């Protein structure tokens, strides 16, 4: 396990946590692909799946923030836009060469680099920003209860 959802990441005990668990599952899957020296096309496809799910999740989280009167919602939304841009740029700049074609040291370095990027990209956002939503979780419940699980439609 490279990435695993932990209790200290809990925000609402509901849809946000569930989305975060799924995002972290995709990130873990990505690390497994890289460590197994999977074709780079598969790695890039999984990165795009992460981008797609993150985009849907961020919009849901933003709607929940608005519904709960979270005062920092506009600034938080800006952070989400930046995360999307960062991941888009990361995907654009990804090498087309797979780990199988690299030396073992280069492949190890790519694995570490991928983990560093994903940690900064999402784990830092959850622990640094999303946890600030905890006091508003109760107010999110009415809207959250109308939301279906995203991962089923993903
Ligand atoms: Fe967020």
Residue 154 has a pLDDT of 45
Distance CA 87, CA 138 (A): 31
3-state secondary structure of 93: coil
Assess contact for 41 and 26: CB atoms under 8 A.
no
Ligand 1 centre to CA of 126 (Å) is: 6
- Domain ranges within the chain, ordered by starting residue: 13-146
Residues with CB under 5 A from ligand 1 (ion): 130
Angle, CA of 22, 25 and 31, to the nearest 5°: 150
The b-or-e profile of 134-145 (16+ CB within 10 A means b, else e) is: eebbebbeeebe
CATH classification of 13-146 is 3.90.1420.10, yes or no? no
Distance 8 CA to ligand 1 centre (A): 15
* pLDDT tens string 36-89: 999 999 999 999 999 999 999 999 999 999 999 999 999 999 999 999 999 999
Q: Give the global pTM.
A: 0.95
**How far does the centroid of ligand 1 lie from the alpha carbon of residue 62, in Å?**
8
Q: What pLDDT sits at residue 11?
A: 97
Per-residue pLDDT, 17? 97
């Amino acid at each position: 396990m490279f990435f695993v959802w932990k209790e200290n990441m809990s925000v609402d005990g509901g849809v946000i946590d569930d989305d975060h668990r799924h995002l972290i599952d995709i990130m873990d899957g990505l690390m497994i692909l890289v460590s197994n020296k999977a074709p780079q096309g598969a790695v890039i496809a999984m990165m795009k799946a992460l981008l797609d799910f993150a985009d849907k999740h961020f919009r849901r989280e933003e709607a929940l923030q608005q519904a709960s009167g979270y005062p920092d919602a506009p600034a938080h939304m800006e952070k989400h836009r930046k995360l999307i841009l960062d991941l888009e740029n990361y995907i654009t700049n990804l090498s087309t060469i797979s780990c199988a074609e690299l030396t073992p040291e280069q492949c190890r370095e790519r694995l570490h680099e991928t983990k560093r990027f994903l940690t900064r990209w999402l784990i830092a956002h959850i622990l640094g920003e999303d946890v600030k939503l905890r006091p508003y979780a109760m107010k999110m419940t009415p809207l959250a209860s109308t939301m279906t699980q995203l991962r089923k439609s993903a």
